[in-house]
Amino acid sequence: MVQRPRPSLYISVDIEADGPIPGPYSMLSVGAAVAGRQDADDYTPADPEAATFYRELRPVANDFVPEALAVSGLDRDRLRIEGADPRSAMREFTAWVRQVSDDAQPVMCGYPASYDWTFLYWYLIRFTGGSPFGHSGCLDMKTLYATKARVPLRAVAKRRMPRELLSSRRHTHHARDDAIEQAELFSNLMAWEGPAAG
């Protein structure tokens, strides 16, 4: 008898940071939204606003890149006082992921996943000692699109995607908003069969 694989629960994650890499620079906010669930039979999209997570974090480093900080509009001085302790925030995030995942294996998805995953994984390992996604439970939406569209990865940009794949929501650089927007994009990509032939 062939054992059915555990379902996957895809969680769209977006982070805002004040530099290119974690450690020397800080993750200032993290947002997440449940995108959908995939089992052996099908993918079922979720309402991306139904299950979300958001925290603003206290900076862990003194250095920052002004241009990176300007993207999010977050105030480092305010976050030094009001931002959540990174250890507490990552514990809360882990508990949330486990709660929404239930019997499924959680998979982080992002656009692009590489930047957000780098910060998220570093923070999870640094402040909790583990990751609810394991060491490789992430899926990059740019790669997913490139594979389905049969185009080179470096040619992928949202402005070149078919309009029906894109979310109607604005990309605001608020981590929760953008996680919700990306969750819609992910569900659209999962349903998309690729460009029509001919």
Per the structure block, which two tokens stand in for 91?
Answer: 């514990």
Q: Give dist(CA 109, CA 190) in Å, integer.
A: 12
CA distances from 72 to 46, 75, 182 (A): 27, 9, 16
Helices (H) and strands (E) counted in the chain, each on its own, are: 6, 6
**At CA 26, angle to CA 155 and CA 58, rounded to 5?**
135
Q: Is 171 a catalytic residue?
A: no
Q: Which of 135, 171, 173, 174 is catalytic?
A: 173
Question: Which residue in this structure is represented by tokens 């029906």?
Answer: 164
Closest by CA to 131, choosing from 11, 35, 45, is 11
Measured at the CA of 122, the angle between CA 118 and CA 126, to 5 degrees, comes to: 175
DSSP string, 41-75: S-EEE--TTTSEEEEEB--S-S---HHHHHHHT--
Which are the catalytic amino acids?
173
